Amino acid sequence: MAYAVTQSCCNDASCVSVCPVNCIHPTPDERAATGLLDVEMVYIDPASCIDCGACADACPVSAIVPTDLLRGPDTIFADLNRAYYEQNPTSATWDSLSFPTTVPQGYGELRVAIVGTGPSAAYAARSLLHTTPARITMIDRLPVAGGLLRSGVAPDHPATKGVDSMFGWTYDHPRVSTMLNVEVGRDVTHAELAAHHDAVLYAVGAAQDRPLGIEGEELPGSVSASALVAWYNAQPDREHPAIDLSAERAVVVGNGNVALDVARVLLTDPDGLARTDVADHALAALRRSRVREVVVMARRGPDDAAYSRGELIGLCSTPGLEVVVEDDPVTAAAIDGAADGSKAALLRDLPRVVLDAAGPAGGSAGGPPGGSVHGSAGRRVVLSFFRAPERIEGPDRVTALATRPTGAAASQAAGAAAGHGAPLRTGLVVRAIGYRGTPIPDLPFDESSGTVPNDAGRVLGPDGGPQPGTYVVGWIKRGPTGGIGANRTCAEETVKALVEDASAGRLVPPVGSVGAFASLVRRRTDVVGRRRMQAIDRAERARGSEQGRPRRKFPTVAELLGAAPARTGPRKRAS
């Protein structure tokens, strides 16, 4: 018997270092050597695995399972793990021996502010705590920690959310203080952070959507994936307007993992979602939803799909949901001629359908609200390739999406026969074509890439040289690529740069004390520290336990603060 890595792999390579026989690849060194830093997952060689279980114990998301315990659709992961080594027979080298960079013994106090509390921030804090005597201040604009783990991961992915248990000790560490509900640029400036810390590290992600740039994009019924994800995850700093789910068809433009998450959540039986931490308002709306078909549309072909193999397999195994492929000659040829183990090859056994522009099964894509279709037959996701959005139609809200064929399909007359020429009737268009970072006050910003200019995490000033004591990590550093685990290697690189600068005397010593900084911030806003953060967590879990759910999130900042009032009374945020 051997172990296999399955769908929920977070890809942070925690398992690689504990394997005594080097049977888990690609390793961090192999990724760096090939430039594949954003590989989907790691794989276990069944021929070399000795069934010791060390990897399963180390995995933070419980993604590693004995192959003989795989059931149903999950059995394909045994094949995927084995196929990786058939295609990569030389993946058996050990990573080079390396030791973490640390400051010289007796260096003295090192104070670091980390802006953000998501995965990249947590990995950076862990690396600093493991390798230096640093005292860390973790800052977040929200009253709760977690970033992407709380507000970005789909509610029906509890295994992925389980990585927060690995980060939990970070916030409780005696050398870490948390200052939540504090926004840099409004409550405190970068200059003030730098004056009270040796270094400031920004881990603020990339929250801005990429627009489609087409006519009608501003119509009601046209929403961004980030808005929809924030809606069903109860992200507290965003408005949550009602999402109109009265049409039978929704179209998601883009086919990355977020696109599949959106499609799955829109069609999953609400009774199943009711056992998760999905937002109460979203659950209520999904119970009334009439959506029974989601078209996931991509400009490129099936072998260039942005989703991971694991996410596709997870989508196909969703109870009560059929996954089909839009049938046209170009897509069919790409799938039928695909190499075994490729993304396109995974689609071979899926039904192929001609997409009816008028609506699901020839029905109406509009219709009055009310009367959920959940629990009835006919809920399906249509994977559509070689299509691009051209225009969103509707007099006062979305009624249809005009598309055009792309690539090889553009020259095929059969594309129009397959429906490419007729606008797709729909009441909801979700753009899921990626994210970009937003400028950080007082830091340089590259508009073309949506990132802060940097060299290995060191922020570069206008002159192209490093800006002393200022660093970035995560998506604001490298762009919106890679999942949760990719932040580990990214964070280690940035921390290495920070420690090298500290050791070389390139950091500017702070002029203000820790206490002075705390007093400064508390005069300006209602700071949530560790005690109140834990109180909010307990309150949400208690609310959830009443309904058999892991937690029920408070959907607004006011409710979060109300769940854990300050001992001295709340302060008003400075205007």
* Within a domain: 187: yes
Rg of the chain, C-alpha, whole Å: 25
State whether 38 and 140 are in the same domain: no
State whether 162 and 305 are in the same domain: no
Structure tokens at 308: 């991971």
Distances (CA, A) of 512 to 103, 248, 521, 531: 22, 59, 13, 25
Helix (H) or strand (E) holding 226, with range, is helix 225-233
Angle at 531 between CA 526 and CA 534, to 5 degrees: 105
Domain boundary among 400, 416, 434: 434
Structure tokens at 395: 């007099």
State whether 17 and 39 are in the same domain: yes
* Predicted local distance difference test score (pLDDT) of residue 564: 92
User: Which CATH number does the domain housing residue 321 bear?
Assistant: 3.50.50.60
Domain boundary among 385, 416, 434: 434
- Split at pLDDT 50, 70, 90, the class of 240 is confident
Q: How far apart are CA 194 and CA 53, in angstroms?
A: 45
- pLDDT tens sequence across 91-150: 666 777 677 788 888 788 899 999 999 999 999 999 999 999 999 999 999 999 999 889
Which phi and psi angles does 353 have, rounded to 5°? Answer: -130, 150
Q: How far apart are CA 453 and CA 479, in angstroms?
A: 11
User: Which CATH number does the domain housing residue 45 bear?
Assistant: 3.30.70.20
Which of these, 486, 552, 559, 550, lies nearest to 118 by C-alpha position?
A: 486
| pLDDT reading at 288 higher than 60 | yes
Which phi and psi angles does 120 have, rounded to 5°? Answer: -65, -40
State whether 334 and 442 are in the same domain: no
Structural domain for 47, as ranges: 3-87
The average confidence (pLDDT) of the chain is 90
Maximum pairwise Cα distance, the chain: 74
The length of the chain, given as a count of residues: 575
- Split at pLDDT 50, 70, 90, the class of 409 is confident
* Within a domain: 95: no
State whether 65 and 167 are in the same domain: no
User: Which CATH number does the domain housing residue 514 bear?
Assistant: 3.40.50.720
Task: Tell me how many domains the chain contains.
Answer: 3
- pLDDT tens sequence across 42-87: 999 999 999 999 999 999 888 999 999 999 888 999 999 998 898 8
* Within a domain: 29: yes
State whether 175 and 146 are in the same domain: yes
State whether 163 and 116 are in the same domain: yes
State whether 326 and 236 are in the same domain: yes
pTM for the structure as a whole: 0.90
